[in-house]
Amino acid sequence: MYIDVHCHLDMLKNIDEIIKNAKKKNVNVIVSAGVDIETNRKTLELSEKFQEVRACLGIYPDEALKMSDKEIDSEIEFINKNKEKVWGIGEVGMDFSGNDKDNEKQERVFEKFIELSKKLDKPIVVHSRKAEEECIEVLEKLKAKKVVMHYFSGRLKLVERIVNNGWMLSIPTAVKNSEHFQKVVEIVPIENLLCETDSPYSHPDKKFPNEPANVVESYKMIAKIKGLGLNEVEEKIEKNFERLVK
């Protein structure tokens, strides 16, 4: 069984068709992430409608900047209330790309979500664009354990630090054409790897939209780089995924 550990199903059209395509390819678990109040509710609905879908709820860093602290706290309360239906916390993190962002507020919100994931003992899926080291520092400070660094584009030194912390890196389907991610696969032990599509983004052949069925491309690349059989990669990554929710 293949697993897509990070995508945004709510952003895709014809979701019935998308799920069918995934199942045909043996992609039987799809973790879909909300990014704000509206998509968190949509994601919950999808997880109730399709048994393949797991809900990951959070507030994307740029969205958090548009919200008041009160609104953020009430969304955290919403997630807490729905904890039985939630697989993990995400997409959350920090994003220092672009100008004039309130980095302090980003950190404050990120800390709240890390605390939530610890309290619920659920994985946290982290977005860290241009804030890679800063995200790692905050996660280390708060002693987060069930961490998935999604689409991690930081330096290889930082990749090593993630591995030393015992966290996971999810390899996007873009690995097919990305030397950076191919290098990441090379240096990270398979025990620390998961796979994601980040659908609708990040299509393996740079098309749009991407979909969970394509996650197989990440698995194939890992098999090729590590010199393992596809079945072996499939089994190991399924074990990694299970370890996260233990």
Q: Which residues lie near Zn ion (CB under 5 A)?
A: 91, 198
Which CB, 132 or 198, lies closer to Zn ion?
Answer: 198
Per the DSSP assignment, residues forming a β-bridge with 170 are 150, 194
Residue 103 to residue 80: CA distance in whole angstroms: 25
Residue 243 to residue 246: CA distance in whole angstroms: 5
Which CB, 32 or 240, lies closer to Zn ion?
Answer: 32
Closest separation between CB of residue 231 and Zn ion, Å? 28
Query: Please, are residues 58 and 35 in contact by the beta-carbon 8 Å criterion?
Result: yes
Closest separation between CB of residue 85 and Zn ion, Å? 20
Closest separation between CB of residue 91 and Zn ion, Å? 5
Residue 199 to residue 181: CA distance in whole angstroms: 17
Amino acid, single-letter form, for residue 230: L
Which CB, 58 or 188, lies closer to Zn ion?
Answer: 58
Closest separation between CB of residue 6 and Zn ion, Å? 6
Closest separation between CB of residue 241 and Zn ion, Å? 17
Closest separation between CB of residue 140 and Zn ion, Å? 23
Q: Which residue has the tokens 């995934």?
A: 22
Q: What percentage of the chain's residues is helix, strand, coil (to nearest 5)?
A: 55, 15, 30
Nearest to 204 by CA among 188, 227, 181: 181
Per the DSSP assignment, residues forming a β-bridge with 141 are none
Closest separation between CB of residue 203 and Zn ion, Å? 14
Amino acid, single-letter form, for residue 211: E
| Helix, coil or strand: residue 28 | strand
Which CB, 95 or 198, lies closer to Zn ion?
Answer: 198
Which CB, 212 or 223, lies closer to Zn ion?
Answer: 212
Which CB, 198 or 211, lies closer to Zn ion?
Answer: 198
Which CB, 4 or 223, lies closer to Zn ion?
Answer: 4
Query: Please, are residues 184 and 162 in contact by the beta-carbon 8 Å criterion?
Result: no
What is the torsion angle, in degrees rounded to the nearest 10, for the CA atoms of residue 70, residue 71, residue 72 and residue 73? 50
